[in-house]
Amino acid sequence: MSEPQHGGAMVADHLHNAGISHIFTLCGGHISPILVQSQQRGIAIVDVRHEASAVFAADARARLTGRPGVAVVTAGPGVTNSITAVKNAQMAQSPVLLIGGATPTVLKDRGSLQDIDQSSLMQSLTKWQASVKTLAQLDDALAHGLKVAASGVPGPVFIEAPIDILYPREMVHDMYADQAGIKNLKGPVGTAARTALDLYLKRQEYQPSLRLHPDASALPRGLGEWRAGGQARAVARKLARAERPVLVLGSQVVVNRDIGQAAEVASAVARLGVPTWTGGMARGLLGAQHPQLFRHKRSNALAEADLVIIAGFPFDFRLKYGRGFARDAEIVSINLSRDDLYLNRKPDIPVLDHPGDFLEALAEQAGPEDWNDWFATLTEREKAREAEIDEQAAETDEGVNPLNFFRQLDGALDETDILVVDGGDFVATSAYTLKPRRPLSWLDPGVFGTLGVGGGFTLGAASARPDSQIWLIYGDGSCAYSLAEFDTYVRMGMAPIAVVGTDASWGQIAREQEAMLGDNIGTYLRHTDYHQAAEGYGGKGILVTKDEQIPEALQQARELAAEGTPVCINLILASSDFRKGSISM
């Protein structure tokens, strides 16, 4: 019988054969064989400064490439540090494979280092998980897990891999024998103990897998059945009769799509000719200046539309729980998830399908109608709102006007630039003013509203698009979660440009808390020298304290990034009341 490979090599082979080119990780003794073996197979190892950043990076890479992102973390604290990022990926419906190290199987529940019940922690956060005890189970779990992560409604998968199946058997034997005190044990007792250990380790290698997934319940069935059954024709007929249609696109329209496939969805939307609003990863799908694309007054349009097509959004708080539509409007909802399809209200036409696929099918049967009056109304509102923002961007005060900065940054963006946003008030302001130039060029946390995604998302984006300039838009509160990843950028040869909007406040909370409760307790910060902190990690810092410095700062940042240096622009912000009433429930 030939000697089987050890678990570290098995993981590396599965990932390599699946076309995985990057692993995001923070090192630990439990998982070292995975990292070493993967690097030997040509997989890039991106080692971060916090485990959450590893999962955020895997999430971002998955969103930009259409393939599962992979993170590997060590046991115990390594796994628990990743929890928020795993939940974020789950709620964003992003295909992520997380492999976590674990204590040796023989020592489970006996007080081994970093031994906790990781499976229970991950159960509600993942689409599927497995705790393996043999090489055959690991083999089975990897093949199934990669498939599950990307199928149906995409989501995170967790595989717990104990240390004693990841290392070569001889090393494991020596570690067990040494730490259990039997290595130098004499006589029949020592011989029996070592023989028993050998038999146990051989069973781990040769025992066939007891199926970890007895059915395919993790793989949803029926996707596309509505499209095949003629739902596209039904929606096309409604479009032909509509006078005031609206199309709202969410992240699902591009999930599991690369940039070329996303462009095909964009082409389908353009052929439909419907006034369109985008959110999440759908931002940028139609470019920056498409005549169908609207950015403002979505609620007004939804309240007046006679036909609303919601593609890849549940009826959650972002859509007023399905209650923000005209009384007589017909509602079409397209979603990968049956639960999300019917959340809070039942649409007139529920379509269980990939929204991108359905829109492409719909475009084959429907085309632009005479909606000129409707477009004129919406365009007038759009121009009026843009004029208001321009007027506010021209206001001067002590410090940098955030609207003025974003207007100038938007004018400086290239076609291939990617925007990563991580923050509250400052970042939400950017969403009104920055216009992604092409599909899959905007990364925000998603519906979970997680702070701290910035460093990891930037690493994932830079790995997926090494020729694109990554702009990381930080609030001064959120930047502290992952500013240390500047160290990773330097080590990995990445050169993003981070912009920290510094107002010495958790501004999104403060503006409501002070107005409603008359107290800013817990919301104030310091005007910290974030640009100097970035330099301490090996980057370059630029301080901007007034509007006149913006053009030079943007040019200098571009030049430094082109030379391979990551940059942090620290903007000292003027006060702003641009976003009154920003609290969400």
pLDDT (tens digit, 9 = 90+) per residue, 201-238? 666 665 665 556 544 444 444 556 555 558 899 999 99
- Residue 449's pLDDT is what? 86
Q: By C-alpha distance, which of 419, 429, 514, 431 is closest to 468? A: 419
User: In the numeric block, which tokens belong to residue 66?
Assistant: 């259409």
**Bigger pLDDT: 285 or 581?**
285
First to last CA, the chain: 62
Which residues contact residue 498 at a Cβ distance below 8 angstroms, ignoring those fewer than 6 apart?
A: 454, 458, 471, 472, 474, 479, 483, 486, 534, 566, 567, 568, 569
pLDDT-based confidence at 576, cuts 50/70/90?
confident
Sheet holding 567-572, edge to edge: 442-443, 418-422, 470-475, 497-502, 567-572, 540-544
Domains and CATH numbers, the chain: 7-206 (3.40.50.970), 225-375 (3.40.50.1220), 394-572 (3.40.50.970)
Mean pLDDT of 89-99: 97
- Residue 276's pLDDT is what? 97
- Residue 585's pLDDT is what? 58
Give the type of residue at 319: L
Q: What is the mean pLDDT of the chain?
A: 89
Q: What is the pLDDT of residues 298-337, one digit of tens each?
A: 999 999 999 999 999 999 888 888 888 999 999 999 999 9
User: Angle at Cα 56 formed by Cα 523 and Cα 436, nearest 5°?
Assistant: 85
